[in-house]
Amino acid sequence: MVLHSSSGNIVQTIYNYNGGQSTVEGVTKQSNSFVEVDSRMRIEITPKFSNSRLLIQYNFLFGGNFSSAITTFRIHSSTDDFSSNSVVSSLNTEGNRNFGHASHRLVDSDLNDRHTTQLLFTTPASNTNARKYSLFALNESNVLNYYHRTGTNNAGCSATPPSVIVMEIGQ
């Protein structure tokens, strides 16, 4: 029985494109505490080796609703379908700052500000138990934010399907 993979080998890749749906559905969230953005962006992996690294990538469209409020994004993991969860690879921060894997502060020119956002980071597998990952966000001023689409429904605006990739890399 093989107990580890050669360093740098891609052991497996799990991919979630638009939650498996054929239509891009927008999501709005408004919370000044961390909440799950979209359960369709959950992804599950069972690592084959406990000493592997997991490379996690989230790609999604984000609109700040013409607000100067800061939105912080972070990835949470769970082994019980998010009845409980924890922040992935959380680090200590200076002062009262929230840890995040990414952040936006947008005031472009109108309600339809939007930015394609990518989070990319690694975390140790640590064990071979199945786990799920999902995107959580907090808006400092409790402003309504848009995901996967803009606030206005016209041909000049866009809807973009989210994608999530988890890649297990041998160490």
Contact 48, 166 (CB under 8 A): no
Query: Rounded distance, CA 141 to CA 77, Å?
Result: 25
Question: How distant, in Å, are the alpha carbons of 7, 78, 80, 124, 132 from that of 38?
Answer: 34, 15, 17, 24, 13
Of 130, 101, 112, 94, whose CA–CA distance to 14 is shortest?
130
99-138 pLDDT, tens digit each = 888 888 877 777 777 889 999 999 999 999 999 999 999 9
pLDDT for position 2: 65
Tokens linked to 49: 């080796």
Closest among 56, 63, 62, 58 to 40, alpha carbons compared:
58
- Residue for token digits 């919370």? 31
Architecture of the structural domain at 10-169: Sandwich (2.60)
pLDDT above 90 coverage of the chain, percent: 53
